[in-house]
Chains A and B, each alone.
Chain A
Amino acid sequence: KNEVEQSPQNLTAQEGEFITINCSYSVGISALHWLQQHPGGGIVSLFMLSSGKKKHGRLIATINIQEKHSSLHITASHPRDSAVYICAVRSWDTDKLIFGTGTRLQVFP
């Protein structure tokens, strides 16, 4: 079992839909990151969380430390949101990022 599990692996949506991507982890962490990777590769850091909730524009990220779970929400999705979304946790033990396998999102007009 991977230390960081994301669901779903693939997600398609119509423009305007509300989207949720989930991340569960099994290790002790100091922080959790949500990253976005577009085709072509470049990675953008969306959020770094250690507790609670953060919001940036149409993106919302939440984390429940007790349940070892985080969610990334996209409100009013748009085709430009199409990308791979990656959850990564910073291990308390090793101080290294452990990456989930990513969720491939496609938003159709």
Chain B
Amino acid sequence: GAVVSQHPSRVICKSGTSVKIECRSLDFQATTMFWYRQFPKKSLMLMATSNEGSKATYEQGVEKDKFLINHASLTLSTLTVTSAHPEDSSFYICSAREGTSGDYEQYFGPGTRLTVT
């Protein structure tokens, strides 16, 4: 099946610094990428949706200046957590699909665990 990779898998950073998480589709062109956040023992929460070459669409309550998303190519999207704070500590998961419609399968990355100290 299709593979989505994320890097890094774990990151620890100091409060006030910025952290970049990469998401790559390895064997397909990801027209649409999604970024989710998951709190312990909770469901995934959609943060934003991005289509290649366009600005990301953020969900209500998600600060776009805090969580910068770039989908510069059909195989790469990045999420940058700017000026990170301990409350940003979470599990971040990206997901990608080949087309823009829901007819396409959506594949998930392995996730990145962010800890802000």
Q: Which residues of A does B touch, CB under 8 Å?
A: 30-31, 33, 35, 41-45, 48, 86, 90, 95-97, 99-102
Contacts and interface: CB of A to CB of B under 8 A. Distances in A.
Contacts, number: 48
B6 to A, nearest CB: 9
B91 interface: yes
B43 A48 contact: no
Question: Binding site of A, secondary structure by majority: helix, strand, loop or mixed?
Answer: strand
Given A44-B108, A45-B107, A102-B43, 5 more contacts: A43-B44, A43-B111, A45-B105, A48-B105, A99-B43
A95 B101 contact: yes
Interface of B: 1, 34, 38, 42-44, 46, 49, 91, 93, 101-103, 105-111, 113
CB-CB nearest 6 A-B residue pairs: A42-B110, A43-B108, A30-B102, A41-B111, A99-B43, A90-B102
Contacts of B1: 45
B103 A86 contact: no
A95 to B, nearest CB: 5
Contact of B102 (A31, A41, A44): A31
Contacts of A41: 38, 91, 93, 110-111, 113
B13 to A, nearest CB: 18
Contacts of B106: 33, 45, 48, 90, 97
B102 A43 contact: no
Contacts of A86: 43-44
A101 B1 CA distance: 25
A45 B95 CA distance: 10
A11 B51 CA distance: 38
5 contacts: A31-B102, A31-B103, A35-B108, A95-B101, A101-B42
Contacts of A100: 43
A43 B4 CA distance: 10
Contacts of A30: 102-103
A96 B109 CA distance: 17
B105 A101 contact: no
